[in-house]
Amino acid sequence: MSFTPIFFDNNRGMITKNKLSSPNARMQRIALVIGLVFACMVQAKSATRPNIIFLFADDQRADTIGAHGNPHIQTPNLDRLAESGFSFRRNYCAGSFSGAVCVASRAMLMTGRHWMRLPRNKPQSNWGNAKPLPALLSERGDYQSFIIGKWHNGKSTLDQSFHNGQSIYMGGMADHADFQVQDLSEGKLSAKRDAGGFSSTVFADEAIRYIKGAGKEQPFFLYVAFMAPHDPRNPPEKYRQKYYKNRPPLPVNFLPQHPFQNAPQATSGRDEGLAPWPRTKEMISDQLCEYYGLITHLDEQVGRVIKALEKSIHSKNTIVIYTADHGLAMGSHGLLGKQNVYEQSMSCPLILSGPGIPSSQSSNAFTYVHDLYATICDFASVEQPVENDSKNLRSIMHLEIPQVHDSVFLPFQDNQRAVSDGEWKLHVYPKINHRLLFNLEADPHETTDLLHDPAHQSQVIRMSKMMETHRKKLGDPYPLSVANPASKKPNYANDKRTLDRWQPKWIRDKYFSGRNDPNHGIRKTN
């Protein structure tokens, strides 16, 4: 069938057919009118959908924001974001299938599914039939999804999630001041190029450029994944000097070393090898100063992005979300990394700000990072897949319901489990048949084990049942005890510490001096 061209006659103010008067004319006119009406409806719907800027930190503890109760850190821009928005104060990463916890956290965020419900085979880059959030927003919400910064989940999942982006770092970590990025255009990655600056600054520059160039005809989902404050802890010099001169206190639960072998990574992992054992107060103090310096520098870049948004045409129709993939021990319990189920490592900040979000409010309701999948879908008027585990947080913000989770379950690989109802928390270490019980209301830093206290045996039983409920729901395949447990005694061997090649020389000299290895244990990896 041939197509008869139709056009709008400006002189007569009506739809006309090009010179012809066939019997199909009325049907063609009706079809065109229907098409125009539908297009207007889609355009109107797109206009009501908010833009979303997702700012994602890496390894940021929940207690490293001034407005959230830390007087020792300078985060004026995050403080302002919290004042203008809503903070969730019990936000967690739901454990990990990998020692690279950020990989699991990002997989859960992008799929809305708990890691135990992702494919067993390479879940970091194999998400099965899960629909990545950016792709869902593009397909069902007409969003332009754009990525900037870190992507730690492989190229195949990037292909499924985004088609466009700038300054993408495809690895897990790098020297913040010396790394390479790639650009993504219509699904094709460019060759690697030098980033040309400090990571947080580079990614903020790209975000500002995108905000200034984005039009109003289509809503956008701008995903900005910072590499800070992940190590190397090498902020620009003035930011670490700021804290060397005015040092934050050590964690309340600081220990020179962890008292038992909580996981294989406790004595052999990369994160834990970033300082020798036993940890000294002086060394942890220096690392805290460097960590805080990274966060303050990141805060400045976040402020630049928000300022660009406020000056743009999108200022009245954009939701800003700030969170992190997980926290970090940084000396708590004698640990440095995140390969554990203590509060400091599994909890991270979460702030939302924008139209329709209450300001200067917060909640102690339990949330997971991957709950943002459902929450963003609701903002975008898009239904999330029914198979997802993600819970919508908007009803909490509007005081319609008090919570979406009555407890949190924190499983780490096959060697650690924890469950918390906010008042009590139970740790289980299956490989060594070891358990701990903490009263978080009286002991928020998890320093006093009450497992064998006769007065609290009812809590041990109750929390054990709670953990089993979570395990059954998720299909946890790993046992909570073993017939032949490993030794609980940790073997701390400083001569086996290895340091990856991304650590700058001053960090290698400072924290690996005195070793016989002339290369400071740098592994030659790609």
pLDDT at 48: 84
Residue 292 inside a domain? The answer is yes
- Please state, in angstroms and rounded to a whole number, the distance separating the CA atoms of residues 50 and 318: 5
What is the value of pTM for the model shown? 0.90
Same domain, 293 and 226: yes
Domain that residue 33 falls in: 6-46
- Tens digits of residue pLDDT in 217-247: 999 999 999 999 999 999 999 999 999 999 9
Q: Same domain, yes or no, for 503 and 465?
A: no
Same domain, 35 and 91: no
Query: Could you tell me if 214 and 167 lie in one domain?
Result: yes
- 188 in any annotated domain: yes
Residues 38 and 60 both lie in one domain: no
For residue 451, what is the domain's CATH number? 3.30.1120.10
DSSP codes of every residue in 487-508:
PSS----GGG--EETTS-HHHH
Domain assignment present for residue 410? The answer is no
Q: Which two tokens stand for residue 71?
A: 């007087």
How large is the average pLDDT for residues 373-394? 98
Alpha helical stretches, state H, 114-236: 133-141, 155-161, 199-213
Report yes or no on 517 lying in a domain: yes
SS3 437: strand
Residue 119 lies in a domain: yes
In a domain? residue 388: no
Task: Give the pLDDT score at 24.
Answer: 57
Number of domains comprising the chain:
4
> For residue 112, what is the domain's CATH number?
3.40.720.10
Q: Given pLDDT bands bounded at 50, 70 and 90, which one contains residue 1?
A: very low
Q: Same domain, yes or no, for 39 and 120?
A: no
pLDDT digits (tens, 9 = 90+) for 11-29: 323 222 333 344 455 555 5
**DSSP class of 115:** G
Q: 144 Cβ partners below 8 Å, 6+ apart? A: 138, 164, 214, 218, 219, 220, 221
Cα gap 323→91, rounded to integer Å: 9
Burial 231-254 (b: 16+ CB within 10 A, else e): bbbbbbeebbebbeeeebebbebb
Residues 236 and 121 in one domain: yes
Average pLDDT taken over every residue of the chain? 90
pLDDT of residue 498: 78
For residue 306, pLDDT beyond 70:
yes
Percent of the chain with pLDDT over 90: 82
- Residue 208 maps to a domain: yes
Residues 429 and 469 in one domain: yes
Q: Is 289 helix (H, G, I), strand (E, B) or coil?
A: helix
Query: Are 379 and 501 in a shared domain?
Result: no
- Specify the pLDDT at position 6: 27
Q: Among 147-156, 351-360, 487-496, 512-521, whose mean pLDDT is lowest? A: 512-521
Residue 489 lies in a domain: no
Q: Read off the pLDDT of each residue in 197-213 and give the average, rounded to a whole number.
A: 99
User: How much is the pLDDT for 29?
Assistant: 56
Residues 249 and 332 reside in one and the same domain = yes
Q: What is the mean pLDDT of residues 405-427?
A: 98
- Whether residues 68 and 129 share a domain: the answer is yes
Residues 30 and 151 in one domain: no
